[in-house]
Chains A and B, each alone.
Chain A
């Protein structure tokens, strides 16, 4: 590439030859300089502008969160939690509430005339009535067992101990497992 010469007339007839310009390298240098300056600007913009803006935002949201917590009166909050706990605890307790007095109804309904119970107990954990009774004969006891086994309220009948008395009667211990559904509602 040949250098360009510019002629120009000055005062008088003097000819001067201007210095050839740097051309493309010069423009490249300016462009690189601008690029460098821009990258520095971006860095400082991020470092001191955007980062501090984000920090401010973060602090502002934290403050808003703190003020949000103060919006609810502490006493009201405490009362509400107490009431809510009562409702939840009430539900928990009522789920386990059984009408144990229904067991009397079972015995009243199915005991035959020749059988007498001396002692009876009911345990909620095992859902079982345990009763000690006496009757006049093995035949009556077998009859009583058969009635209990047919009862829809009873899921399992087991005879624990049977002994013949010198007087001729029979004493026994019986276990009756009660259907839980039968204890979940009060009897009429």
Chain B
């Protein structure tokens, strides 16, 4: 083969290789790099998420351990806001307060109101049990009854009261109360 032919062939092949390298870079390597960068970003996000989750899990585990040691608080919280309507227990509680205050519960009505959702979605909803009751007795007893209702173990928020003195001398005064009791759903 003639030298000049070899030379031309060499230059041609060099050009082809160079174009090939350029085409490989532009068409394949750049595309692959884009995919690689996306995957790297995904892995970095997952790693960060894992680290956060790991930290959160450790905190939760520590909290659960602490929580296991506060059974007294749990019991008190369950009495204040029980896990369920427990209308019978509420009735017994009101009846007991009535006896302790020497008032007579003339009527009592329970009604479930729509539950109230919490600000944080994972929290359990707060159920509301509305109690309308009418108590009879003398003024100091009714006042004592109301005070005891306000400080009873199961949280009771009084919404409305109506006091009526006895119509006749020696009769009983009356106190109508609308109270909200709460439970966890």
Q: Spell out A's residues near B (CB within 8 Å).
A: 3, 19-20, 22-23, 25-26, 28-29, 31-33, 35-36, 38-40, 42-43, 46-47, 50-51, 54-55, 57-58, 61-62, 64-65, 68-69, 71-73, 76-77, 79-90, 92-94, 96-101, 103-104, 117-125, 186
Which secondary structure characterizes the binding site on chain B? helix
Question: Which of B25, B74, B158 is the most central at the interface, judged by chain A CB atoms within 10 Å of its CB?
Answer: B158
- Whole-angstrom distance between the alpha carbons of A122 and B79 in the complex? 28
User: Of all chain A residues, which has the CB nearest B127?
Assistant: A89
- Whole-angstrom distance between the alpha carbons of A124 and B158 in the complex? 8
- Whole-angstrom distance between the alpha carbons of A13 and B3 in the complex? 26
Q: A89-B81, A97-B157 are in contact. Are A28 and B14 (CB under 8 A)?
A: yes
Evaluate contact between A51 and B182: CB separation under 8 angstroms.
no
User: Of all chain A residues, which has the CB nearest B120?
Assistant: A88
Q: A36-B21, A93-B155 are in contact. Are A88 and B123 (CB under 8 A)?
A: yes
Q: Could you name 19 residue pairs across A and B whose Cβ atoms are closer than 8 Å?
A: A22-B6, A25-B10, A31-B14, A35-B21, A36-B17, A51-B36, A54-B39, A58-B42, A72-B61, A80-B63, A85-B118, A86-B74, A86-B77, A88-B118, A99-B147, A104-B163, A120-B162, A123-B160, A186-B150
Partner of A47, one of B32, B159, B160: B32
How does the 8 Å CB contact mask read for B1-18 relative to A, with 1 for contact and 0 for none?
001001100110111111
Evaluate contact between A125 and B159: CB separation under 8 angstroms.
yes
Evaluate contact between B32 and A68: CB separation under 8 angstroms.
no
A-side contacts of B159, CB under 8 Å: 123-125
Evaluate contact between B162 and A72: CB separation under 8 angstroms.
no
Evaluate contact between A121 and B161: CB separation under 8 angstroms.
yes
Evaluate contact between B81 and A86: CB separation under 8 angstroms.
yes
Evaluate contact between A100 and B64: CB separation under 8 angstroms.
no
Partner of B11, one of A19, A28, A35, A46: A28
- Whole-angstrom distance between the alpha carbons of A28 and B16 in the complex? 11
Evaluate contact between A28 and B10: CB separation under 8 angstroms.
yes
Q: How far is the CB of A110 from chain B (nearest CB, A)?
A: 16
Q: A25-B7, A65-B46, A68-B53 are in contact. Are A100 and B155 (CB under 8 A)?
A: no
B69: CB under 8 A from chain A?
A: no
B-side contacts of A62, CB under 8 Å: 46
- Whole-angstrom distance between the alpha carbons of A19 and B80 in the complex? 105
- Whole-angstrom distance between the alpha carbons of A176 and B165 in the complex? 19
- Within B128-185, the residues touching A (CB, 8 Å) are 143, 146-147, 150-151, 155, 157-165, 182, 184
Q: How far is the CB of B169 from chain A (nearest CB, A)?
A: 13
What are the 9 closest A-B residue pairs judged by CB atoms, nearest first? A32-B17, A25-B10, A85-B124, A29-B14, A121-B162, A54-B39, A39-B24, A36-B17, A61-B46
Q: A89-B184, A93-B155, A119-B164 are in contact. Are A101 and B147 (CB under 8 A)?
A: yes
User: Of all chain A residues, which has the CB nearest B156?
Assistant: A97
- Whole-angstrom distance between the alpha carbons of A20 and B120 in the complex? 85
Evaluate contact between A32 and B46: CB separation under 8 angstroms.
no
Question: Which of A57, A82, A100 is the most central at the interface, judged by chain B CB atoms within 10 Å of its CB?
Answer: A100
User: Of all chain B residues, which has the CB nearest A61?
Assistant: B46
Evaluate contact between B3 and A19: CB separation under 8 angstroms.
yes
Q: A90-B155, A119-B164 are in contact. Are A35 and B17 (CB under 8 A)?
A: yes
B113: CB under 8 A from chain A?
A: no
Other contacts beyond A36-B18, A61-B49: 16, CB < 8 A: A19-B3, A25-B6, A25-B7, A25-B14, A26-B6, A46-B36, A51-B32, A61-B47, A72-B57, A81-B124, A97-B155, A100-B150, A104-B163, A121-B161, A123-B160, A186-B151
